[in-house]
Amino acid sequence: TVARCKPLRHCYEKEIVLYAHFQALDYFSTECVYAPQAFRGHPRALLKDLEATRATTVAALGHSGRRLEVATEVATKSLGAC
């Protein structure tokens, strides 16, 4: 498998758009017509509220998420007969 490379993961979207603008790169952004009704808007709104309170919230969440490890084996209960 090929590892994913995300060189701009620590950059805000505004910074990426400005970079594309000043480098004269072709950039366009369209929103999905279903986006306003999507559930992902709720966590996004929460993140924006948290970031308004503390500017480093999104970066801190990303950093802590990368430090988490997922166990290779997950303990499960064996099912018995009904």
Give me the amino acid identity at 6. Answer: K
- Our CA dihedral for 32, 35, 4, 21, rounded to 10 degrees, sits at 60
82 or 61, which is more confident: 61
CA pair distance 65, 28, nearest whole angstrom: 29
Whether the pLDDT of residue 80 is over 70: the answer is no
pLDDT at residue 70 in the model? 66
Whether the pLDDT of residue 82 is over 80: the answer is no
74 or 36, which is more confident: 36
pTM exceeding 0.75: no
Local structure of 36: helix, strand or coil: helix
72 or 51, which is more confident: 51
Alpha-helical segments (H) within 1-82: 13-22, 41-53, 57-67
Whether the pLDDT of residue 22 is over 80: the answer is yes
pLDDT at residue 23 in the model? 92
pLDDT at residue 81 in the model? 65
Contacts of range 8-14, beta carbons closer than 8 Å, 24 or more positions apart: 9/62, 10/59, 10/62
